Amino acid sequence: MPQDSQALAATIESRFADKILSCKVYVDEVTVELRPDKLIEVATALRDEQDFCFQQLMDVAGVDYQSFGEADWQTSEAATSSGFSRGVAQSSGQGAKRSEARFAAVYHLLSVVKNHRVRLRVWLDDDPPRVPSVLEVWSSADWCEREAFDMFGILFDGHPDLRRILTDYGFVGHPFRKDFPVSGNVEMRYDPDKKRVVYQPVTIEPRTLVPKVIRHDHRFLSDAESPTSDDDSADA
């Protein structure tokens, strides 16, 4: 219920006032934002203290906020070089409209006892992005942290076996980063002469998947845009 979320947010804000950046409620979901150096202390308290009892870590996810808040569709007149498809060249670096760090690690917690959920968002300023591992707090973080490392390149300090989990052994790059090409950097094929799988530069040609022509349908025009009866009679 909404009042439960507001009460939980108020309790968290009161308990961790000097350790978190913010605690917000949006669509009945509580999101706590903090820095990496406070993560273990806050996470341990959320797990152990009776006011919270967040003993289950449901998921760990990486987020890339590059170009967040920037318009990708600019096709009212014609196709542009900044269309939604990443097949076109885009500017590097994080979005100009965003002041926070480019990457974040997000933790989804569940309290079975209190029937509450909370989201922790940890902003990562370092390059490469790094954050302490919460494996000692919640053992279920093991493979989740490996996946975030594999897909986003986030380093989890203290993880005992931080290696790729979804991509191939020799994979280069991190596929969920916004600047990673949709077609990838390399492709693999079976070489009948070498009798093994080999890697080669990708042969797929990137293309912009945005409309080349904008067609206006008279059924969806406003009154001001619709042709008048005089215009129709003149055309006749």
Question: Where exactly are the structural domains of the chain?
Answer: 2-178+207-235
Q: How far apart are CA 53 and CA 46, in angstroms?
A: 6
> pLDDT digits over 19-63, tens only?
999 999 999 999 999 999 999 999 999 999 999 999 999 999 999
> pLDDT digits over 168-189, tens only?
877 888 999 988 888 888 888 8
> Who wins on pLDDT, 102 or 75?
102
Q: Can you tell me whether residue 32 is helix, strand or coil?
A: strand
Fold assignment, 2-178+207-235: Beta Polymerase; domain 2 (3.30.460)
> Who wins on pLDDT, 80 or 133?
133
Residue 235 dihedral angles phi and psi, to the nearest 5°: -65, -35
**pTM of the prediction?**
0.74
Q: How far apart are CA 199 and CA 180, in angstroms?
A: 18
Alpha-helical runs (H) found in the chain = 2-15, 39-48, 141-152, 229-235
**Identity of residue 57:** L
> Who wins on pLDDT, 82 or 5?
5
232 band by pLDDT with thresholds 50, 70 and 90: low
Q: How far apart are CA 94 and CA 102, in angstroms?
A: 6
Q: Is the peptide bond before 128 cis (omega within 30 degrees of 0)?
A: yes
pLDDT of amino acid 124: 95
Beta strand spans in the chain (E): 22-26, 29-34, 56-64, 103-111, 116-124, 130-132, 155-157, 186-191, 196-201
Q: Can you tell me whether residue 223 is helix, strand or coil?
A: coil
> Who wins on pLDDT, 208 or 45?
45
Q: How far apart are CA 55 and CA 57, in angstroms?
A: 7
Q: Is the dihedral of CA 212, 213, 219, 222 positive or negative?
A: positive
Q: Give percent of the chain above pLDDT 90.
A: 57
Tokens linked to 222: 């406003």
- In contact, 17 and 30? CB cutoff 8 Å: no
